[in-house]
Amino acid sequence: MSKSERYLPALDEMGLFEDSGHRTRFKELVDCYGEYPFFTSGLCKCMYLAAWDEEHFAVILQILSDLAIGKERDTNEMRIQGDLLADQQEGGDYYIYQLSNAFLDGRTFALEGDEDIAEEYTYIIRQALKAGKVIDQADGGDR
């Protein structure tokens, strides 16, 4: 069973793809990078989050391409890039990158409630956290 065959039905069943573009971008990332040694459930969660729109998709695609070319075995370099990118963001995008970093680190993430971000970003974060749980269940609880 391919990685996308493992994750897509579970995410579809929970209605966690915003539209067909979101689903297609996610599938492309998992299909392309799912067999690399650096692929983890945390990275899969980042892929879901980044596939939300074209802009974030392009960012993760560049980072993953660089990891693949360098034949990386883990996401340490991606994590460093995540910190750098987060520091360059404001508002909701800052929290999106913080969530990605939490996924890579295997940490829990929660908004405090006093963040000054648009509802659109809190919605994306809530959906990504739900998707993260589904991905963990599809992995049988493995991180």
Let me know if residue 37 belongs to a domain: yes
Packing angle, helices 54-69 and 41-50, rounded to 10? 140
Rounded Cα gap, residues 142 and 122, in angstroms: 26
pLDDT, tens digit (0-9, with 9 covering 90-100), for 75-91:
888 888 888 888 898 88
Residue with tokens 């897509």: 8
* Three-state DSSP class for residue 103: helix
Let me know if residue 143 belongs to a domain: no
Question: Per-residue pLDDT averaged across 121-142, rounded?
Answer: 90
Let me know if residue 18 belongs to a domain: yes
Let me know if residue 43 belongs to a domain: yes
| Two structure tokens written together for 123 | 């919605």
Let me know if residue 83 belongs to a domain: yes
Residue with tokens 């340490």: 76
Let me know if residue 91 belongs to a domain: yes
Domains identified in the chain, total number: 1
pLDDT at 50 over 50: yes
Let me know if residue 123 belongs to a domain: yes
Let me know if residue 56 belongs to a domain: yes
Return the HEC string of 48-64.
HHHCCCHHHHHHHHHHH
How many Cβ atoms are within 10 Å of 104's Cβ, its own excluded?
19
Per-residue pLDDT band at 2 (split at 50, 70, 90) = confident
∠ CA(16), CA(104), CA(33), 5° rounding?
Answer: 70
- DSSP-derived letter for residue 52 is T
| Mean pLDDT of the chain, nearest integer | 91
Domain extent for 113: 3-138
Higher pLDDT, 87 or 103: 103
